[in-house]
C-alpha cells in the first residue's frame, strides 16, 4: 500500500452496464442471462433498438462523467472509480484496480436510488464475491435524499417550462421506473414503497398534489410471470381517453441516459403519444446534474464518517 493511499478510502460508483457497440449486444445479453445463449431474434431486436439510439449505449460515458464530477465535488482527493454489473469495466475488475492502487476501503454507491433485492441485492452479491481484502461500505438506498429529490424536481420544472405558461399548472405528470416481477411484493421488497416516497417528495417540492400525477412502471421483462404495473403505456392511453393532450413523463427510477430512457421513452412512448394526440415531454436525465452530484458527495461523506474513515 502506498503512503498516499494508506488510511484513506476510495469511492466506487456502480451501474448496470451496457454495450458500447452493436457487436457487443449479443455477449452483453449473454452476460445478463448468466451465460445462457440469447435467441437470434432477441439479439436482432436489441441491436435494432441500440441502432435507433446511435448504435451504442452512453451509460458508461455518463457514469464516468458522474464520477469525475463527484471527485471534484468531494475535493478531498478521494479517487472515484466506476464498476459495472454486466459489462466492462466489471465490478470485479474495478475492485482489483482499487486494490492495486493501494486502497483497502471504498464507499460504494449503486446509481439506482430505490432498493430491491433483485437489483441492489445483485450489486451486494457482486461486491461480496469480489472484494477480497477491500472493506466495502455500500450505500444501500437513497430514494429520499433531499438532494436527489431536489434534482428531480428541477428537471420536472424545466420540462414544464417547455409548455405555454397558461398550461403548465394543469399538465399531468407521469413518473416511471423499471418494472420488476410482482413476486417481490409478497417478499416484502421495499422497491414499490420507496418509489412512491420519492414521487411524494418531488410533488411536495413542486407544490403539487397527487391529483394531477400518476406513477407507472416501464420496461418490463419478457417472462411468463406477472410484472409490476400499471404499465406506462396503459396509463398514457387512459389519459388520452380523458382528453388529456399534454404530458410530462419523468423516469424517476433512472439517473442516467441509457436504453430504457432513450429508446423505451424517447422512441416507443413518443410514438404512442403521437398516435394518441398527446404532446409528450420527457424530463432530462439527471446524469451529472450538480444537485445529484452533491447528493452523492453527501452520501459518501456521511458513510465515511459512519465508518470512522473521515
User: What average pLDDT does this structure show over 106-134?
Assistant: 91
5 has a pLDDT exceeding 60:
no
pLDDT at residue 12 in the model: 98
pLDDT at residue 3 in the model: 39
Which CATH number, 3.20.20.10, 3.30.300.130, 3.40.50.1400, 3.20.20.80, labels domain 146-282? 3.40.50.1400
Please answer whether residues 232 and 218 qualify as being in contact, where contact means their C-beta atoms are separated by less than 8 angstroms: yes
Percentage of residues in the chain with pLDDT exceeding 70?
98
pLDDT at residue 7 in the model: 59
pLDDT at residue 144 in the model: 98
Short-list 221, 287, 205, 230, CA closest to 254: 287
pLDDT at residue 58 in the model: 98
Please answer whether residues 134 and 37 qualify as being in contact, where contact means their C-beta atoms are separated by less than 8 angstroms: no
With residue 239 as reference, give the H or E element that holds it: helix 232-241
Short-list 130, 129, 74, 120, CA closest to 99: 130
Q: How far is CA 170 from CA 85, 160, 284, in A?
A: 40, 10, 20
Q: At CA 249, angle to CA 244 and CA 250, rounded to 5?
A: 150
Please answer whether residues 98 and 81 qualify as being in contact, where contact means their C-beta atoms are separated by less than 8 angstroms: yes
pLDDT at residue 6 in the model: 53
To 10 degrees, the CA torsion angle through 52, 53, 59, 60? Answer: 90
How far from the centroid of its chain's Cα atoms is residue 115's Cα? 11
User: What average pLDDT does this structure show over 25-43?
Assistant: 94
Domain boundaries, the chain: 10-142+289-306, 146-282
Q: At CA 266, angle to CA 264 and CA 271, rounded to 5?
A: 90
Distance CA 30, CA 27 (A): 5
Eight-class DSSP state of 267? I
Q: What is the mean pLDDT of the chain?
A: 95
80-115 tens-digit pLDDT: 999 999 999 999 999 999 999 999 999 999 999 999
Q: Indicate if 146-282 has the same CATH topology as 10-142+289-306.
A: yes
295 has a pLDDT exceeding 80:
yes
Cell numbers at residue 157, please? 420544472
Domain 10-142+289-306: top CATH class:
alpha beta
237-246 tens-digit pLDDT: 999 999 999 9
4 has a pLDDT exceeding 90:
no
Amino acid at each position: 500500500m502506498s503512503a498516499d493511499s494508506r488510511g484513506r478510502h476510495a469511492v466506487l460508483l456502480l451501474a448496470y452496464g451496457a454495450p458500447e457497440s452493436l457487436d457487443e449486444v449479443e455477449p452483453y445479453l449473454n452476460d445478463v442471462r448468466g451465460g445462457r445463449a440469447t435467441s437470434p431474434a432477441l439479439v436482432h431486436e436489441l441491436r435494432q433498438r441500440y441502432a435507433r439510439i446511435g448504435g451504442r449505449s452512453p451509460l458508461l460515458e455518463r457514469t464516468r462523467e458522474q464520477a469525475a464530477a463527484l471527485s471534484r465535488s468531494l475535493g478531498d482527493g478521494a479517487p472515484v472509480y466506476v464498476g459495472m454489473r454486466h459489462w466492462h469495466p466489471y465490478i470485479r475488475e474495478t475492485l482489483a484496480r482499487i486494490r492495486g492502487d493501494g486502497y483497502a476501503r471504498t464507499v460504494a454507491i449503486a446509481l439506482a436510488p430505490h432498493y430491491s433485492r433483485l437489483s441492489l441485492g445483485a450489486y451486494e452479491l457482486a461486491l461480496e464475491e469480489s472484494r477480497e481484502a477491500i472493506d466495502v461500505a455500500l450505500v444501500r438506498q437513497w430514494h429520499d435524499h433531499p438532494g436527489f429529490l431536489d434534482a428531480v424536481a428541477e428537471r420536472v420544472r424545466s420540462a414544464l417550462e417547455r409548455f405555454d405558461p397558461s398550461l403548465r399548472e394543469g399538465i399531468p405528470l407521469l413518473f416511471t421506473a423499471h418494472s420488476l416481477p410482482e413476486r417481490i411484493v409478497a417478499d416484502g421488497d421495499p422497491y414499490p414503497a420507496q418509489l412512491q416516497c420519492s414521487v411524494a417528495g418531488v410533488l411536495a417540492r413542486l407544490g403539487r398534489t397527487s391529483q394531477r400525477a400518476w406513477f407507472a412502471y416501464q420496461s418490463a421483462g419478457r417472462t411468463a410471470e406477472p410484472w409490476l404495473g400499471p404499465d406506462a403505456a396503459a396509463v398514457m392511453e387512459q389519459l388520452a381517453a380523458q382528453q388529456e393532450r399534454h404530458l410530462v413523463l419523468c423516469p424517476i427510477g433512472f439517473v442516467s441516459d441509457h436504453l430504457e430512457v432513450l429508446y423505451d421513452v424517447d422512441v416507443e412512448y413518443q410514438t404512442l403519444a403521437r398516435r394518441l394526440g398527446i404532446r409528450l415531454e420527457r424530463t432530462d436525465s439527471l446524469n451529472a446534474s450538480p444537485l445529484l452530484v452533491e447528493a452523492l458527495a453527501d452520501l459518501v461523506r456521511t458513510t465515511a464518517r459512519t465508518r470512522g474513515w473521515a
